[in-house]
Amino acid sequence: MKRLLSIFSFSMLAFIYLPMLILVIYSFNSARINAVWSGFTFDWYRSLVDNRFVLEAVANSLTIAFANMIISTIVGTLAAYAFYKYKFKLDILWKGLIYFPILIPELLMGLSLLILFSQVNIPLGKVTLLIAHITFSIPFVYMIVIMRLQDMGRELEEAAQDLGATPWTTFFKITLPVISSSIFASALLVFTLSLDDFIISFFVAGPNSTTLPIYIYGMIKRGITPEINALAALMIVTTMILVMIAELLRRRGSKNYTPFY
Amino acid sequence: MNKKGKLLAVPTLVWLSLFFALPLLVMLVVSFYQRGLYGQVVPSFTIDNYLRFFEPLYMSILVETLIVSFITTIGTLLLAYPLAYYISKIPRSRQNIWLILVMVPFWINFLIRSYAWVIILRSQGIINTVLLKIGIIEIPLNLLYNWGSVMLGMIYTLLPFMVLPLYVSLEKLDKQRLEAAYDLGATRLRAFWHITLPLTKPGIIIGSVLVFVSSLGMFVVPDIMGGAKSMLLGNVIQNQFLSARDWPFGSAISMLMIILSALLIALYYKAMQWEDENTRLEGD
């Protein structure tokens, strides 16, 4: 029984990773039309670098991901600290406001933002994209940081205060060092989230603010080419590396690993 | 830092009110407006958008969406439960590696994960190429652009949502109760059926709600892996906004979807509380 279970689990891992692995391998296949392996090539990657539109999309994606990372990490961390430290009136309402964005289908979030922007006449572009990305990122930062704060417990801070540390000293010397790895982790994760987001971006991006996932969608709709494989493979590998680093950071110093749901 | 520290939460709360709650309110309002001749939104009150949703065409798409979401939920549950069970049983250090491995695909978007399957399943794809080469088939099989491929894609992309809540439940499981059952002579199967399964009900509910709600709003997987006939509610909404340009009707369907999601999420919170209570009892 135990054996069966472990065989099943390893095959699930294969089920999860094989399709993506195959995609990465085939991005080096020189055949243009079919899946017959006809030799190793970097051609598809080379043609990406020569493609002005791809470079533009990459630049857009990186700019927005970076700006989003800075803003949502700061804003979300502050809120996590406030909610950890103080009791709020209407607590359930505020928590709902923070958690609901994670739970509702992304489609609805993207569309409702599209309606808002068009009703108040904000033209779609990089600004609307950034606003949308910050909106779905803040709750993630909040959750990751507040989990670390709760994990830390209050004893350390209380001890510092008993020894005469001012609240500010306590915050900068005790609290911040303890939660810093989770802040970095959340920054990396929302950077990835933003780089990777397709659904919400699809509705709030303008003609001059195409991001990488939106560009890939357009390519797929026009027909399957090896260049898409190369681009998708790059995205898979980048995302995996970023998330791995973030997860390692998040677990550092934390007693137990809790996935956040 | 005194009570002024509460102000630290203001940016987040203001931001989410403005760009999360307000847009939903505007959408609610627009769902009672009318579509103008040129696809613009005309602010005159009507409930026609909601009535129109009850036409047979949309009703059948709703039913199909519910069926697909249900099958997806059951499918992910059946695949994820044994996996989560296995992870909860192995030593701690390896548990973390497994969790990260299961978690990583969650961050890769639906578009790319379903595209990976297109490469494998399409008529010039890997499976067909191999089968043709071996000579088992003479013409490529239609593996893509049907309900089967949509189901596969949905289960594949939503699997991480199910594994994690199940793992959390299984992890918290009181091992003493299981041992007591074994001491009293229960077989493994009986112990699983009467103890493990009931005690992990919160995890099952949380995972199911997450998967079901995500499937309700899914439009990428049917769009990439489904044919013209495999339309889900998400695709209908998307069409109302992009090609049909009937925003009020699209908003009305969205509102109905939000209500359904909110009801399910309420269930999710009930399950969370339930889980907290369960663990607290065991801790005493």
CB B14 within 8 A of CB A75: no
The shortest CB-CB distance from B86 to any of A9, A79, A216 is to: A9
| A148 and A27 in a common domain | no
| A76 and A32 in a common domain | no
Work out how many domains chain A is built from and give that number.
2
Tokens of B131: 């089968």
pLDDT in tens, B188-199: 888 888 888 888
CA distance A111 to chain B (A): 8
Contact check, Cβ <8 Å, A26/B26: no
CB atoms within 10 A of CB A180: 14
| A34 and A49 in a common domain | no
CA distance A50 to chain B (A): 22
Residue A260 has pLDDT above 50, yes or no: no
Contact check, Cβ <8 Å, A75/B11: yes
pLDDT band at B284 (very low <50, low <70, confident <90, very high): very low
CA distance B199 to B85: 13
pLDDT of residue A154: 84
CA distance A143 to B211: 20
A49 CB near a chain B CB, below 8 Å? no
| A72 and A30 in a common domain | no
Element (H, E) at B132: helix B126-134
pLDDT of residue B254: 96
| A22 and A148 in a common domain | no
DSSP state of B42: E
| A233 and A126 in a common domain | yes
The shortest CB-CB distance from B15 to any of A75, A109, A199 is to: A75
Question: Structure pTM?
Answer: 0.91
CA distance A126 to chain B (A): 15
**CB-neighbour burial class of residue B217 (10 A; exposed 0-12, middle 13-18, buried 19+):** buried
pLDDT of residue B11: 96
Looking up tokens 């008993």 gives A162
User: Does residue A261 lie in a domain region?
Assistant: no
pLDDT of residue A62: 97
pLDDT of residue B280: 60
**Category of B179 on φ-ψ map: left (φ > 0), alpha (ψ -120 to 50) or beta:** alpha
Set of chain B residues whose Cβ sits within 8 Å of the Cβ of A229: 119
pLDDT band at A240 (very low <50, low <70, confident <90, very high): very high
| A243 and A131 in a common domain | yes
CB atoms within 10 A of CB A35: 21
Which residues are B41's β-sheet partners?
B35
Which residue of B4, B32, B92, B107 to mutate against A (max A Cβ within 10 Å)?
Answer: B107
Q: Residues near A163 by Cβ (< 8 Å), separated by ≥ 6?
A: none
| A158 and A63 in a common domain | yes
User: Does residue A257 lie in a domain region?
Assistant: no
Tokens of A104: 């509702």
Residue with more model confidence, B181 or A116: A116
CA distance A59 to A195: 11
Contact check, Cβ <8 Å, A259/B103: yes
pLDDT of residue A142: 96
Looking up tokens 């195959």 gives A22
Which residues are B34's β-sheet partners?
B42
B257 CB near a chain A CB, below 8 Å? yes
| A238 and A172 in a common domain | yes
Set of chain B residues whose Cβ sits within 8 Å of the Cβ of A232: 112, 115-116
Radius of gyration in angstroms for the set of CA atoms belonging to chain A, rounded to a whole number: 22
CA distance A30 to chain B (A): 14
The shortest CB-CB distance from B12 to any of A79, A217, A240 is to: A79
Residue with more model confidence, A9 or A250: A9
pLDDT in tens, B208-218: 999 999 999 89
Indicate the fold that domain B52-108+147-279 takes in CATH: MetI-like fold (1.10.3720)
Set of chain B residues whose Cβ sits within 8 Å of the Cβ of A32: none
Domain that holds residue A26: 1-41
Residue A258 has pLDDT above 70, yes or no: no
CA distance B55 to chain A (A): 22
pLDDT in tens, B224-278: 998 777 789 999 999 999 888 899 999 999 999 999 998 998 888 888 787 777 6
